[in-house]
């Protein structure tokens, strides 16, 4: 069994090593805090937000600034912090001013998420803690599913998020595959030696744009705990917590989950990092225009990386052969599916109206309907 797990790159132990007692103690404290604050909505709201902000930043670092961190390891961490933190603040400020206090860019106005919670279940507060554990195990699970589905009012809402996310995975996989099949040989020929400074400028522009577009999709994951319209004090608290978290993330160069990026072929090359960020940005912007339904950007990202890795392996321009590329793609997707299963279990545990039978009947119908509707719009 260990050989099979090791072959796909899975952790051979499914729980934390004995040496990580401090992390285990931290997790236990978080669970205790979640248990004690759950009956008090005003405390639970901010405790859930703090846990969610920390967990989402730690897990989602690979998607938008993962390649940015990997290809800018020679830069001072605080320079990257000013750049990334500044974009976060102004992106949130724009939404807050234009949408009357909403920092989710309208994502939490979609059906099933439009009402702010007035009471909290223990599992809703503890959901980000489960995400921290999965992140520690280097699993690229979907923050959207883990955090948002626990607040979903209907199975239809969950099915809509799942359909949009799977559409994103399929589309990004195909784009990544065919794009890098087309440019792999040319990139190997021309992307040699040290990149010119113009590529660094291009990467900072594409990474900054991607980071802003990504926030328009995923800020809902942590804002879901808070009122749908924040006052000035709440907005300052919201932005301050996340900016500090980003500083810690960049100081530690992305943390353990960063390996999901660095194990792929030549992502530390600023030229390849720029291409990945550009494609990812275009895909996310398209989905932003497509609908206001939240989606898992994690699924889009791992789909893009899987398609790119397979395309480069087919053309023999990457570091991995076809079998290794397929293994990496299967491993990342299986972790994402694990997160989906956990999130649905949490949603059922939180909401008495969401029974197992209802979820099993409704989600597949909404999923198929959403997939068909999406690809029919593309002309398939």
Summarize pLDDT for 330-378 with one digit per residue, the tens: 888 888 888 778 777 877 777 776 777 777 777 788 778 878 887 787 7
Asked if residue 25 belongs to a domain, the reply is: no
Q: With 0-12 CB in 10 A as exposed, 13-18 as middle and 19+ as buried, what is 186? A: exposed
> Mean pLDDT, to the nearest integer, of 198-203?
87
- Does any domain span residue 30? no
Q: What is the mean pLDDT of residues 268-285?
A: 82
Total count of domains within the chain = 1
Q: Of 29-33, 142-146, 211-215, 233-237, which range is least confident?
A: 142-146
Query: What is the Cα 233 distance to its own chain's centre?
Result: 27
User: How high is the pLDDT of residue 239?
Assistant: 96
Question: Does residue 259 fall inside a structural domain?
Answer: yes
Does the global pTM surpass 0.95? no
Is residue 182 included in any domain, yes or no?
Answer: yes
pLDDT computed for residue 88 by the predictor: 95
The domain of 144 spans 40-377
Overall average pLDDT of the 247-252 stretch: 84
Instruction: Decide if 14 is inside a domain.
Output: no
Q: Does the pLDDT at position 241 exceed 90?
A: yes
> Which stretch of 28-32, 226-230, 326-330 has the lowest confidence by average pLDDT?
326-330
Q: Find the mean pLDDT for residues 240-244.
A: 93
24 found inside a domain: no
Sign of CA dihedral 120, 126, 49, 295: negative
pLDDT of the residue at 35? 94
Tell me if 243 is assigned to some domain: yes
- Tell whether the model's pLDDT for residue 155 goes beyond 90: no
Please say if the pLDDT value at position 70 is more than 90: no
Q: Is residue 9 part of a domain?
A: no
| Average of per-residue pLDDT across 215-230 | 91
């Amino acid at each position: 069994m260990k050989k099979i797990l090791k072959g796909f790159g899975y952790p051979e132990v499914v729980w934390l090593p004995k040496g990580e007692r401090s992390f285990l103690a931290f997790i236990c404290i978080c669970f205790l805090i979640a248990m004690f604050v759950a009956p008090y909505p005003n405390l639970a709201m901010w405790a859930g937000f703090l846990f969610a902000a920390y967990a989402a930043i730690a897990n989602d670092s690979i998607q938008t600034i993962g390649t940015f961190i990997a290809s800018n390891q020679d830069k001072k961490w605080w320079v990257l912090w000013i750049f990334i933190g500044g974009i976060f603040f102004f992106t949130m400020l724009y939404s807050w001013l234009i949408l009357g206090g909403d920092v989710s860019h309208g994502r939490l106005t979609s059906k099933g998420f439009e009402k702010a919670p007035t009471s909290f279940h223990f599992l809703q507060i503890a959901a980000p803690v489960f995400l921290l554990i999965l992140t520690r195990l280097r699993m690229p699970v979907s923050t959207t599913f883990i955090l948002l589905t626990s607040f979903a009012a209907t199975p239809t809402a969950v099915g809509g998020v799942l359909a949009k996310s799977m559409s994103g995975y399929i589309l990004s996989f195909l784009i990544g595959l065919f794009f890098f099949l087309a440019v792999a040989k040319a990139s190997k020929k021309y992307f040699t030696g040290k990149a010119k400074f113009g590529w660094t400028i291009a990467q900072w522009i594409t990474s900054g744009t991607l980071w802003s577009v990504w926030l328009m999709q995923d800020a809902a994951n942590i804002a879901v705990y808070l009122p749908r319209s924040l006052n000035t004090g709440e907005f300052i608290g919201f932005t301050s917590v996340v900016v500090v978290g980003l500083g810690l993330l960049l100081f530690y160069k992305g943390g353990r989950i960063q390996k999901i990026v660095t194990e792929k072929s030549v992502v530390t090359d600023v030229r390849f990092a720029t291409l990945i960020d550009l494609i990812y940005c275009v895909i996310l912007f398209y989905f932003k225009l497509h609908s206001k339904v939240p989606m898992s950007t994690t699924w889009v990202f791992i789909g893009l990386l899987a398609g790119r890795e397979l395309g480069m392996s087919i053309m023999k321009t990457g570091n991995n052969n076809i079998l290794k590329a397929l293994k990496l793609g299967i491993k990342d997707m299986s972790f994402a599916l694990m997160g989906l299963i956990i999130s649905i279990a949490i949603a059922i545990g939180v909401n008495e109206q969401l029974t197992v039978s209802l979820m099993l009947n409704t989600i597949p119908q909404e999923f198929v309907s959403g997939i068909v509707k999406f690809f029919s719009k593309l002309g398939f």
